[in-house]
Amino acid sequence: MANNTNNRREFLKTTGKAGLAAALSLPVLDTLAFGCNQAPAVKAGAGTPYEQQPLPYAYNALEPAIDAQTMEIHYTKHAATYAKNLADAVTAEKVDKNATSLETLLAGISKYSPKMRNNAGGHYNHELFWKTLKAPVDGARPTGKLLAAIEKDFNSFDAFKTQFTDAAKNRFGSGWAWLIAGNDKKLAIVSTPNQDNPLMDIAEAKGFPVLGLDVWEHAYYLKYQNRRPDYITAWWNAINWDFVQKRAADIIG
C-alpha cells in the first residue's frame, strides 16, 4: 500500500497538479458527420487537455479486473509516450493549442501526419479510458436515462453488452470498441483500428464517444495473455457508469 501511495505522489509530481474536476471534464466537439446524422455538440467542460493528466486512482484500484502492474506500465509507458509524441507533433506541425482543441484537431486529422494521427488518437483515447474506469463491482450497469437509451436502441442491456463484447472481441489486431452517439440521440457500437477513434474525419463511423474499451494487448496481456474475452468480461465490472452517464447527459437528454 505504501508503494502505491508513493506511486500516486510521483504521478502528481510528473504530470502536474490538475485536479480531479479537470480530469473529469467533458469535451466540446465540433460538428461531425455520423452516417446520415451528425455528432452532437456537448456543452459541458473545456475539452481534453493536450498533456497527460493524473490518474484519479491508484495503480491497484481496478484489481482484480486490471492488475496494478498492467496499469502502471499502461499509464507511465504507453500512454505517456502518446502524450510526449503528440507534443512533438504539435510543435513540428505548428498547431496552436490555444486556438485548436484536441477534439477539433481530431475532427480534421486527415490534414496532419501519421505521427499526429496515431498520437493524438492515442492520447485522447487513453485520457477518456482512465476516466471510464473505477473499482470493480459485480454486475455493474448504468441507470436512469442512459439505461433507457441503451434499452431503446439495443432492445436490452444484455443485448447491448453482447454486441459491444463482440465488437471488442472481434477487432482484429489492436484497436478499440466504442459506444457512440449522434445528434439524433441514437446510440451505436463501432470499433476502430490502432489509435483511431470516431471523432476523426477518416473514421468509417463517426460520432461522439460515450464509452471506449482499449483492446490493444498492452492493456491486458500481463494478466490475461491471449485471453482477450476474459479481459472484456472483467472490464464490464470496472466501468465507471456515473462518469459515463454524466458524459452522455447532454446527448440523450
Position 126 scores a pLDDT of: 98
**Domain 31-45+61-253, classified CATH 3.55.40.20, yes or no:** yes
Question: Is residue 23 classed exposed, middle or buried when 0-12, 13-18 and 19+ CB atoms within 10 A define those classes?
Answer: middle
How far is the CA of 56 from the CAs of 22, 62, 68, 110, in angstroms?
A: 10, 11, 14, 32
pLDDT 10s digits, 152-205: 999 999 999 999 999 999 999 999 999 999 878 899 999 999 999 999 999 999
pLDDT at residue 96 above 50? yes
Position 3 scores a pLDDT of: 43
Are residues 46 and 58 in contact, defined by beta-carbon separation less than 8 angstroms? no
Cα–Cα distance, 52 to 119 (Å, whole number): 12
Is the pTM here over 0.85, yes or no? no
Q: Which three cell numbers stand for residue 242?
A: 456515473
pLDDT 10s digits, 225-239: 999 999 999 999 999
Residue-range domain boundaries for the chain: 31-45+61-253
Mean pLDDT of the chain: 85
Cα–Cα distance, 35 to 28 (Å, whole number): 20
What is the DSSP secondary structure assignment for residue 186, as one 8-state letter?
A: -
**Range list of H helices, 32-101:** 68-73, 80-92
